[in-house]
Amino acid sequence: MDLADIKARLEAVLFSSDAPLRFERLEQLLQIEGAPLRRALQQLQQDCHQPGRGLLLQEVAGGFQLRTRPEYAPYVVRLSRSRALRLSPAALETLAIIAYRQPITRAEIESLRGVDSGGIVRTLLEKQLVRLAGKKDVPGRPLLYATSARFLELFGLKDLSDLPRLQELAGDEDPGVHPQLDL
C-alpha cells in the first residue's frame, strides 16, 4: 500500500470522526501499524498547513483530529445548529482553578474562590469539561475533580503540559500568582 493511499484513508477516517482518534485506534481502523501510518500523519499534517486549506490536522486530547482553521470559524458557525458553549466568568475561573490545581476538592476550590462553587462544578460536570477523579484520602473522603478529555479537545490542548505556565500569564508580577485566577 502506498503512502498516498494510506493518507487518503487516514483523511477519510479523521474527517468522519467527531472526536480525536488516538494513534492506536487509527492503527486498528486502518489496519496499518507503525512507521507508514506515522509518515502519512506527518504528510497529511504538512498538507493541511499549506496556504488555501480550510482544515488543520491537530494533536489534541491524546489523539488526532481534523479541525477548521480559526480564520474560517465564522463561516462554520453559521452552519452549526448547536448552541455554542458559553461559560460565565465564574465558571471559567473555576475551570482554571481545577485545571491548574487538579485533582482538587470542592472545598479547596471554594477556599480559593471565596464563594460556594457547588453549582458551577455541577455545570462543568454536565458540560463534560470536568470529571470525577476519585476521592481524597482524608476524613469524609471528599470527591476530587480534574479536567476531562473534552476540556483538552475544546481548548485545543494535546495534554495538560500545553497549558500556559502561570509565570507566563502573570508577566512581571509574582510568578506564582495570576491576579485574575487568584491562585
The domain defined by 89-170 folds into: Arc Repressor Mutant, subunit A (1.10.10)
Residue boundaries of the structural domains of the chain: 3-79, 89-170
Report the top-level CATH class of 3-79.
mainly alpha
Q: Does 176 have pLDDT greater than 50?
A: no
Same-fold call for 3-79 versus 89-170: yes
Q: Does 163 have pLDDT greater than 60?
A: yes
Q: Does 172 have pLDDT greater than 70?
A: no
pLDDT in tens, 83-125: 667 889 999 999 999 999 999 999 999 999 999 999 999 999 9
User: What is the reported pLDDT for 165?
Assistant: 85
Three-state SS for the chain is CCHHHHHHHHHHHHHHCCCCECHHHHHHHHCCCCHHHHHHHHHHHHHHCCCCCCEEEEEECCEEEEEECHHHHHHHHHHCCCCCCCCCHHHHHHHHHHHHHCCEEHHHHHHHHCCCCHHHHHHHHHCCCEEEEEECCCCCCCEEEEECHHHHHHCCCCCHHHCCCHHHHHCCCCCCCCCCCCC
User: What is the reported pLDDT for 74?
Assistant: 84
